[in-house]
Structure 1
Amino acid sequence: MNYHLRTQAELDASLDKALAAAPHDVTRSGSWLLVYGSMLKEPPFSPEERRPATLEGWERVFCLADPKMRGTERHPGLCLGLVRGHRCRGLAYRLSAGTVREALRRVWEREMLLPFYVPCWLQAQTPRGVITALTFCTDPDSPLYEPSLSEPAMLERLALCEGENGSNAEYLDTTARQLAEVGLPDTGLDQLSERVRAMRAARREHG
Protein backbone atom coordinates (compact mmCIF):
# COMPACT_ATOMS: atom_id res chain seq x y z
CA MET A 1 0.00 0.00 0.00
CA ASN A 2 1.35 3.41 -0.96
CA TYR A 3 1.20 5.48 2.21
CA HIS A 4 3.46 6.68 5.01
CA LEU A 5 3.05 7.42 8.70
CA ARG A 6 3.28 11.12 9.45
CA THR A 7 6.34 12.32 11.35
CA GLN A 8 5.99 14.50 14.45
CA ALA A 9 7.01 17.51 12.38
CA GLU A 10 4.27 16.73 9.85
CA LEU A 11 1.72 16.27 12.62
CA ASP A 12 2.66 19.61 14.17
CA ALA A 13 2.47 21.36 10.79
CA SER A 14 -0.95 19.84 10.12
CA LEU A 15 -2.22 20.99 13.52
CA ASP A 16 -0.88 24.50 12.93
CA LYS A 17 -2.69 24.62 9.58
CA ALA A 18 -5.97 23.46 11.13
CA LEU A 19 -5.80 26.04 13.93
CA ALA A 20 -4.95 28.79 11.45
CA ALA A 21 -8.09 27.87 9.47
CA ALA A 22 -10.35 28.20 12.53
CA PRO A 23 -13.08 30.86 12.25
CA HIS A 24 -11.99 32.18 15.65
CA ASP A 25 -8.82 32.49 17.73
CA VAL A 26 -8.78 29.19 19.60
CA THR A 27 -5.91 30.31 21.84
CA ARG A 28 -8.19 33.01 23.26
CA SER A 29 -11.64 31.46 23.18
CA GLY A 30 -10.99 27.71 23.16
CA SER A 31 -12.63 25.33 20.73
CA TRP A 32 -15.12 22.52 20.21
CA LEU A 33 -13.98 19.13 18.94
CA LEU A 34 -16.64 16.83 17.48
CA VAL A 35 -15.96 13.09 17.62
CA TYR A 36 -17.97 10.27 16.07
CA GLY A 37 -15.94 7.10 16.69
CA SER A 38 -13.08 5.98 18.88
CA MET A 39 -12.97 9.02 21.19
CA LEU A 40 -16.59 8.83 22.35
CA LYS A 41 -15.75 7.47 25.80
CA GLU A 42 -12.02 7.92 26.42
CA PRO A 43 -10.65 11.05 24.72
CA PRO A 44 -6.95 11.81 25.39
CA PHE A 45 -7.83 15.02 27.26
CA SER A 46 -10.18 16.38 29.93
CA PRO A 47 -12.93 18.49 28.30
CA GLU A 48 -14.59 21.44 29.98
CA GLU A 49 -17.97 20.35 28.66
CA ARG A 50 -19.55 17.61 26.60
CA ARG A 51 -22.66 17.86 24.42
CA PRO A 52 -24.40 15.61 21.91
CA ALA A 53 -24.00 17.15 18.47
CA THR A 54 -25.44 16.50 15.02
CA LEU A 55 -23.81 17.14 11.66
CA GLU A 56 -26.39 17.49 8.91
CA GLY A 57 -25.26 16.41 5.45
CA TRP A 58 -22.53 14.08 6.74
CA GLU A 59 -22.41 10.44 7.80
CA ARG A 60 -19.92 8.00 9.31
CA VAL A 61 -19.01 5.00 7.16
CA PHE A 62 -16.34 2.31 7.07
CA CYS A 63 -14.42 3.61 4.07
CA LEU A 64 -10.75 3.82 5.13
CA ALA A 65 -8.33 0.92 4.72
CA ASP A 66 -6.44 0.42 7.99
CA PRO A 67 -3.09 -1.36 7.53
CA LYS A 68 -1.94 -0.80 11.11
CA MET A 69 -4.40 -0.41 14.00
CA ARG A 70 -7.15 -2.88 12.99
CA GLY A 71 -5.46 -4.67 10.13
CA THR A 72 -2.18 -5.32 8.35
CA GLU A 73 -0.75 -4.27 5.01
CA ARG A 74 -1.59 -7.69 3.62
CA HIS A 75 -5.06 -7.74 5.18
CA PRO A 76 -6.09 -4.14 5.88
CA GLY A 77 -9.00 -3.57 8.19
CA LEU A 78 -11.44 -0.69 7.97
CA CYS A 79 -11.69 2.56 9.87
CA LEU A 80 -14.63 4.94 10.14
CA GLY A 81 -14.56 8.09 8.09
CA LEU A 82 -16.86 11.09 7.71
CA VAL A 83 -18.27 11.62 4.22
CA ARG A 84 -21.09 13.56 2.63
CA GLY A 85 -24.42 11.95 3.35
CA HIS A 86 -27.50 12.16 5.55
CA ARG A 87 -26.69 12.84 9.20
CA CYS A 88 -24.04 12.00 11.78
CA ARG A 89 -24.54 12.19 15.53
CA GLY A 90 -21.56 12.37 17.86
CA LEU A 91 -20.18 14.20 20.87
CA ALA A 92 -18.78 17.72 20.98
CA TYR A 93 -16.07 18.34 23.57
CA ARG A 94 -15.28 21.85 24.76
CA LEU A 95 -11.54 22.53 25.04
CA SER A 96 -10.39 25.54 27.05
CA ALA A 97 -8.12 28.20 25.57
CA GLY A 98 -5.34 27.20 27.93
CA THR A 99 -5.40 23.50 27.07
CA VAL A 100 -6.66 23.42 23.48
CA ARG A 101 -3.32 23.12 21.71
CA GLU A 102 -1.89 20.39 23.94
CA ALA A 103 -5.20 18.51 23.86
CA LEU A 104 -5.35 18.64 20.08
CA ARG A 105 -1.71 17.63 19.83
CA ARG A 106 -2.60 14.39 21.60
CA VAL A 107 -5.59 13.95 19.30
CA TRP A 108 -3.40 14.50 16.24
CA GLU A 109 -0.91 11.87 17.39
CA ARG A 110 -3.78 9.41 17.68
CA GLU A 111 -6.01 10.27 14.72
CA MET A 112 -3.70 11.83 12.12
CA LEU A 113 -0.77 9.40 12.11
CA LEU A 114 -2.19 7.60 9.08
CA PRO A 115 -3.32 9.70 6.09
CA PHE A 116 -7.02 9.19 6.75
CA TYR A 117 -8.45 12.63 7.37
CA VAL A 118 -8.67 16.31 6.54
CA PRO A 119 -9.38 18.44 9.64
CA CYS A 120 -12.57 20.46 8.99
CA TRP A 121 -14.46 23.20 10.80
CA LEU A 122 -18.17 22.41 10.54
CA GLN A 123 -21.37 23.69 12.08
CA ALA A 124 -23.14 21.24 14.37
CA GLN A 125 -26.49 21.38 16.12
CA THR A 126 -26.51 20.80 19.89
CA PRO A 127 -29.28 21.00 22.53
CA ARG A 128 -28.00 24.48 23.39
CA GLY A 129 -27.66 25.82 19.86
CA VAL A 130 -25.37 25.70 16.86
CA ILE A 131 -21.62 25.47 17.41
CA THR A 132 -18.62 25.49 15.09
CA ALA A 133 -16.50 22.44 15.79
CA LEU A 134 -13.31 20.88 14.53
CA THR A 135 -13.75 17.34 13.25
CA PHE A 136 -12.08 14.84 10.93
CA CYS A 137 -13.48 14.45 7.41
CA THR A 138 -12.33 11.66 5.13
CA ASP A 139 -9.51 12.79 2.85
CA PRO A 140 -10.83 12.07 -0.66
CA ASP A 141 -7.24 12.01 -1.96
CA SER A 142 -5.99 9.52 0.62
CA PRO A 143 -4.47 6.33 -0.81
CA LEU A 144 -6.38 4.54 1.96
CA TYR A 145 -9.82 5.84 0.94
CA GLU A 146 -12.09 3.14 -0.51
CA PRO A 147 -15.32 4.86 -1.62
CA SER A 148 -16.55 1.95 -3.74
CA LEU A 149 -16.11 -0.90 -1.26
CA SER A 150 -18.84 -3.51 -1.69
CA GLU A 151 -20.93 -4.57 1.29
CA PRO A 152 -19.76 -8.23 1.20
CA ALA A 153 -16.11 -7.10 1.13
CA MET A 154 -16.73 -4.68 3.99
CA LEU A 155 -18.40 -7.36 6.12
CA GLU A 156 -15.60 -9.85 5.52
CA ARG A 157 -12.89 -7.38 6.50
CA LEU A 158 -14.75 -6.24 9.59
CA ALA A 159 -15.20 -9.87 10.61
CA LEU A 160 -11.67 -11.13 9.94
CA CYS A 161 -9.07 -8.37 10.13
CA GLU A 162 -6.87 -7.71 13.15
CA GLY A 163 -4.08 -5.22 13.84
CA GLU A 164 -1.97 -3.67 16.58
CA ASN A 165 -5.02 -2.45 18.51
CA GLY A 166 -7.07 -5.63 18.17
CA SER A 167 -9.74 -6.92 15.84
CA ASN A 168 -11.83 -4.87 13.47
CA ALA A 169 -14.94 -6.55 14.89
CA GLU A 170 -14.03 -5.28 18.36
CA TYR A 171 -13.65 -1.73 17.01
CA LEU A 172 -17.09 -1.94 15.40
CA ASP A 173 -18.73 -3.42 18.52
CA THR A 174 -17.09 -0.88 20.82
CA THR A 175 -18.14 2.08 18.69
CA ALA A 176 -21.74 0.88 18.43
CA ARG A 177 -21.90 0.19 22.17
CA GLN A 178 -20.37 3.54 23.14
CA LEU A 179 -22.80 5.43 20.93
CA ALA A 180 -25.66 3.68 22.70
CA GLU A 181 -24.13 4.37 26.12
CA VAL A 182 -23.94 8.12 25.48
CA GLY A 183 -27.53 8.17 24.21
CA LEU A 184 -26.72 8.33 20.48
CA PRO A 185 -27.53 4.85 19.14
CA ASP A 186 -26.72 4.24 15.48
CA THR A 187 -29.11 1.65 14.04
CA GLY A 188 -26.91 1.10 11.00
CA LEU A 189 -23.84 0.30 13.10
CA ASP A 190 -25.90 -1.90 15.42
CA GLN A 191 -27.16 -3.96 12.48
CA LEU A 192 -23.68 -4.14 10.99
CA SER A 193 -22.29 -5.34 14.30
CA GLU A 194 -24.93 -8.08 14.52
CA ARG A 195 -24.11 -9.29 11.00
CA VAL A 196 -20.39 -9.35 11.71
CA ARG A 197 -20.93 -11.29 14.95
CA ALA A 198 -23.04 -13.81 13.05
CA MET A 199 -20.32 -14.21 10.40
CA ARG A 200 -17.66 -14.77 13.05
CA ALA A 201 -19.83 -17.29 14.90
CA ALA A 202 -20.54 -19.20 11.68
CA ARG A 203 -16.84 -19.35 10.82
CA ARG A 204 -15.99 -20.66 14.30
CA GLU A 205 -18.72 -23.28 14.04
CA HIS A 206 -17.45 -24.53 10.70
CA GLY A 207 -13.79 -24.32 11.62
Structure 2
Amino acid sequence: MNYHLRTQAELDASLDQVLAAAPHDVTRSDSWLLVYGSMLEEPPFSPEDRRPATLEGWERVFCLADPKMRGTGRRPGLCLGLVRGHRCRGLAYRLAARTVREDLRRVWEREMLLPFYVPCWLEARTPRGLITALTFCTDPDSPLYEPSLSEPAMIERLARCEGENGSNAEYLDETVRQLAEVGLPDTGLDHLAERVRAVRAARLELR
Protein backbone atom coordinates (compact mmCIF):
# COMPACT_ATOMS: atom_id res chain seq x y z
CA MET A 1 0.00 0.00 0.00
CA ASN A 2 1.79 3.12 -1.26
CA TYR A 3 1.12 6.03 1.10
CA HIS A 4 2.93 8.12 3.70
CA LEU A 5 1.91 9.86 6.91
CA ARG A 6 2.00 13.63 6.57
CA THR A 7 4.65 15.50 8.52
CA GLN A 8 3.78 18.40 10.82
CA ALA A 9 5.15 20.79 8.20
CA GLU A 10 2.88 19.27 5.56
CA LEU A 11 -0.13 19.48 7.91
CA ASP A 12 0.59 23.14 8.67
CA ALA A 13 1.00 23.99 4.98
CA SER A 14 -2.28 22.26 4.13
CA LEU A 15 -4.13 24.15 6.87
CA ASP A 16 -2.67 27.46 5.70
CA GLN A 17 -3.90 26.78 2.16
CA VAL A 18 -7.41 25.91 3.31
CA LEU A 19 -7.74 28.99 5.52
CA ALA A 20 -6.46 31.19 2.69
CA ALA A 21 -9.12 29.69 0.39
CA ALA A 22 -11.99 30.39 2.79
CA PRO A 23 -14.86 32.47 1.34
CA HIS A 24 -14.49 34.90 4.26
CA ASP A 25 -11.73 36.51 6.30
CA VAL A 26 -11.09 33.85 8.95
CA THR A 27 -9.23 36.34 11.14
CA ARG A 28 -12.30 38.59 11.42
CA SER A 29 -15.32 36.28 11.14
CA ASP A 30 -16.09 32.96 12.80
CA SER A 31 -15.85 29.79 10.69
CA TRP A 32 -18.02 26.68 10.49
CA LEU A 33 -16.70 23.11 10.51
CA LEU A 34 -19.09 20.34 9.46
CA VAL A 35 -18.39 16.85 10.81
CA TYR A 36 -20.14 13.62 9.87
CA GLY A 37 -18.30 10.88 11.78
CA SER A 38 -15.72 10.69 14.53
CA MET A 39 -16.03 14.26 15.86
CA LEU A 40 -19.77 14.22 16.51
CA GLU A 41 -18.92 13.94 20.19
CA GLU A 42 -15.97 15.43 22.07
CA PRO A 43 -14.31 17.37 19.23
CA PRO A 44 -10.75 18.58 19.98
CA PHE A 45 -11.90 22.19 20.46
CA SER A 46 -14.57 24.22 22.27
CA PRO A 47 -17.10 25.47 19.69
CA GLU A 48 -18.98 28.72 20.05
CA ASP A 49 -22.13 27.03 18.76
CA ARG A 50 -23.29 23.86 17.07
CA ARG A 51 -26.28 23.01 14.91
CA PRO A 52 -27.47 20.16 12.67
CA ALA A 53 -26.39 20.67 9.06
CA THR A 54 -27.19 18.93 5.79
CA LEU A 55 -25.04 18.66 2.69
CA GLU A 56 -27.16 18.06 -0.40
CA GLY A 57 -25.52 16.02 -3.15
CA TRP A 58 -23.05 14.33 -0.83
CA GLU A 59 -23.10 11.18 1.28
CA ARG A 60 -20.89 9.43 3.83
CA VAL A 61 -19.64 5.96 2.91
CA PHE A 62 -16.93 3.54 3.97
CA CYS A 63 -14.59 4.00 1.03
CA LEU A 64 -11.15 4.66 2.52
CA ALA A 65 -8.67 1.89 3.35
CA ASP A 66 -7.34 2.42 6.87
CA PRO A 67 -3.92 0.81 7.46
CA LYS A 68 -3.38 2.45 10.86
CA MET A 69 -6.27 3.43 13.17
CA ARG A 70 -8.74 0.60 12.49
CA GLY A 71 -6.59 -1.78 10.47
CA THR A 72 -3.05 -2.68 9.48
CA GLY A 73 -1.00 -2.61 6.30
CA ARG A 74 -1.74 -6.29 5.72
CA ARG A 75 -5.40 -6.03 6.75
CA PRO A 76 -6.56 -2.46 6.20
CA GLY A 77 -9.82 -1.48 7.80
CA LEU A 78 -12.24 1.11 6.44
CA CYS A 79 -12.82 4.76 7.26
CA LEU A 80 -15.75 6.97 6.37
CA GLY A 81 -15.39 9.38 3.49
CA LEU A 82 -17.63 11.97 1.87
CA VAL A 83 -18.46 11.39 -1.79
CA ARG A 84 -20.97 12.64 -4.32
CA GLY A 85 -24.39 11.17 -3.64
CA HIS A 86 -27.79 11.92 -2.13
CA ARG A 87 -27.54 13.70 1.22
CA CYS A 88 -25.35 13.75 4.33
CA ARG A 89 -26.47 15.03 7.72
CA GLY A 90 -23.93 16.01 10.34
CA LEU A 91 -23.10 18.67 12.90
CA ALA A 92 -21.73 22.12 12.13
CA TYR A 93 -19.51 23.70 14.79
CA ARG A 94 -18.85 27.42 14.87
CA LEU A 95 -15.20 28.20 15.58
CA ALA A 96 -14.17 31.57 16.92
CA ALA A 97 -11.98 33.69 14.65
CA ARG A 98 -9.51 34.25 17.49
CA THR A 99 -8.81 30.51 17.91
CA VAL A 100 -9.74 29.01 14.52
CA ARG A 101 -6.21 28.13 13.45
CA GLU A 102 -5.36 26.52 16.78
CA ASP A 103 -8.68 24.63 16.77
CA LEU A 104 -8.24 23.36 13.24
CA ARG A 105 -4.60 22.44 13.81
CA ARG A 106 -5.78 19.82 16.31
CA VAL A 107 -8.39 18.62 13.82
CA TRP A 108 -5.72 18.38 11.10
CA GLU A 109 -3.51 16.25 13.34
CA ARG A 110 -6.42 13.80 13.73
CA GLU A 111 -8.05 13.80 10.32
CA MET A 112 -5.32 14.72 7.84
CA LEU A 113 -2.41 12.54 8.97
CA LEU A 114 -3.32 9.86 6.42
CA PRO A 115 -3.99 10.90 2.79
CA PHE A 116 -7.75 10.47 3.07
CA TYR A 117 -9.29 13.87 2.42
CA VAL A 118 -9.42 17.11 0.51
CA PRO A 119 -10.75 19.81 2.87
CA CYS A 120 -13.55 21.71 1.10
CA TRP A 121 -15.75 24.73 1.79
CA LEU A 122 -19.31 23.64 1.00
CA GLU A 123 -22.75 25.16 1.40
CA ALA A 124 -24.85 23.41 4.05
CA ARG A 125 -28.46 23.79 5.16
CA THR A 126 -29.18 24.31 8.87
CA PRO A 127 -32.40 25.05 10.84
CA ARG A 128 -31.28 28.70 10.93
CA GLY A 129 -30.38 29.08 7.28
CA LEU A 130 -27.57 28.33 4.88
CA ILE A 131 -23.94 28.40 5.96
CA THR A 132 -20.64 27.78 4.21
CA ALA A 133 -18.74 25.17 6.19
CA LEU A 134 -15.38 23.47 6.00
CA THR A 135 -15.62 19.69 5.74
CA PHE A 136 -13.56 16.69 4.63
CA CYS A 137 -14.29 15.33 1.16
CA THR A 138 -12.75 12.09 0.00
CA ASP A 139 -9.60 12.63 -2.04
CA PRO A 140 -10.34 10.84 -5.35
CA ASP A 141 -6.60 10.60 -6.05
CA SER A 142 -5.70 9.05 -2.72
CA PRO A 143 -3.98 5.65 -2.87
CA LEU A 144 -6.31 4.66 -0.01
CA TYR A 145 -9.55 5.43 -1.88
CA GLU A 146 -11.62 2.34 -2.74
CA PRO A 147 -14.62 3.57 -4.76
CA SER A 148 -15.87 0.18 -5.98
CA LEU A 149 -15.98 -1.81 -2.75
CA SER A 150 -18.95 -4.22 -2.68
CA GLU A 151 -21.19 -4.39 0.39
CA PRO A 152 -20.14 -8.00 1.25
CA ALA A 153 -16.46 -6.99 1.07
CA MET A 154 -17.20 -3.91 3.18
CA ILE A 155 -18.97 -5.99 5.82
CA GLU A 156 -16.11 -8.49 5.92
CA ARG A 157 -13.53 -5.75 6.48
CA LEU A 158 -15.61 -3.97 9.10
CA ALA A 159 -16.21 -7.23 10.95
CA ARG A 160 -12.61 -8.44 11.16
CA CYS A 161 -10.16 -5.54 11.02
CA GLU A 162 -8.43 -3.95 14.01
CA GLY A 163 -5.80 -1.23 14.36
CA GLU A 164 -4.15 1.12 16.84
CA ASN A 165 -7.48 2.65 17.91
CA GLY A 166 -9.41 -0.62 18.18
CA SER A 167 -11.67 -2.63 15.94
CA ASN A 168 -13.40 -1.40 12.82
CA ALA A 169 -16.69 -2.76 14.17
CA GLU A 170 -16.35 -0.56 17.27
CA TYR A 171 -15.75 2.47 15.06
CA LEU A 172 -18.93 1.72 13.11
CA ASP A 173 -21.01 1.11 16.25
CA GLU A 174 -19.67 4.29 17.85
CA THR A 175 -20.56 6.35 14.79
CA VAL A 176 -24.08 4.89 14.71
CA ARG A 177 -24.51 5.63 18.42
CA GLN A 178 -23.26 9.20 18.13
CA LEU A 179 -25.49 9.97 15.16
CA ALA A 180 -28.52 8.65 17.06
CA GLU A 181 -27.66 10.64 20.18
CA VAL A 182 -27.42 13.94 18.31
CA GLY A 183 -30.73 13.20 16.56
CA LEU A 184 -29.26 12.42 13.12
CA PRO A 185 -29.72 8.65 12.64
CA ASP A 186 -28.41 7.14 9.40
CA THR A 187 -30.51 4.15 8.33
CA GLY A 188 -27.83 2.96 5.91
CA LEU A 189 -25.20 2.82 8.64
CA ASP A 190 -27.73 1.23 11.02
CA HIS A 191 -28.30 -1.58 8.51
CA LEU A 192 -24.58 -2.01 7.96
CA ALA A 193 -23.90 -2.21 11.70
CA GLU A 194 -26.58 -4.88 12.14
CA ARG A 195 -25.00 -7.03 9.43
CA VAL A 196 -21.51 -6.59 10.85
CA ARG A 197 -22.73 -7.57 14.32
CA ALA A 198 -24.37 -10.68 12.84
CA VAL A 199 -21.14 -11.72 11.12
CA ARG A 200 -19.13 -11.23 14.30
CA ALA A 201 -21.68 -13.16 16.37
CA ALA A 202 -21.62 -16.07 13.90
CA ARG A 203 -17.84 -16.23 14.13
CA LEU A 204 -17.97 -16.39 17.91
CA GLU A 205 -20.42 -19.29 17.73
CA LEU A 206 -17.99 -21.23 15.52
CA ARG A 207 -15.12 -20.95 18.00
User: TM > 0.5 between the two?
Assistant: yes
Q: Tell me which stretches of 4 or more aligned residues in structure 1 moved more than 6 Å.
A: none
In the other structure, the counterpart of 2:106 is 106
Alignment deviations for residues 27-83 of structure 1 (CA, whole Å, 9 cap, x no partner): 110200000000001100000000000000000000000000000000000000000
In the other structure, the counterpart of 2:20 is 20
Identity of aligned residues (%): 89
Matched to 1:198, the amino acid is A
The count of residues paired between Structure 1 and Structure 2 equals: 207
SS in 2 for 1:17: helix
In the other structure, the counterpart of 1:40 is 40
For the residues of structure 1 that align with 2:33 and 2:27, how far apart are their CA atoms? 14
CA shift for structure 1 position 153: 0.8
SS in 1 for 2:60: strand
Matched to 2:54, the amino acid is T
- 1:173-188 paired onto structure 2 within 5 Å: 173-188=173-188
For the residues of structure 2 that align with 1:14 and 1:40, how far apart are their CA atoms? 23
- The runs of 5 or more residues in structure 1 that have no matched partner are none
- The runs of 5 or more residues in structure 2 that have no matched partner are none
CA shift for structure 1 position 146: 0.1
**Residue 6 of structure 2 is aligned to residue 6 of structure 1:** yes
- 1:63-78 paired onto structure 2 within 5 Å: 63-78=63-78
- TM-score, normalized by length of structure 2? 0.99
CA shift for structure 1 position 133: 0.1
CA shift for structure 1 position 150: 1.2
Matched to 1:190, the amino acid is D
In the other structure, the counterpart of 1:194 is 194
For the residues of structure 1 that align with 2:15 and 2:102, how far apart are their CA atoms? 10
| RMSD (CA atoms) | 0.4
For the residues of structure 1 that align with 2:170 and 2:42, how far apart are their CA atoms? 16
In the other structure, the counterpart of 2:115 is 115
Matched to 2:14, the amino acid is S
CA shift for structure 1 position 151: 1.1
Matched to 1:193, the amino acid is A
For the residues of structure 1 that align with 2:150 and 2:188, how far apart are their CA atoms? 16
SS in 2 for 1:113: coil
Matched to 1:51, the amino acid is R
Matched to 2:163, the amino acid is G
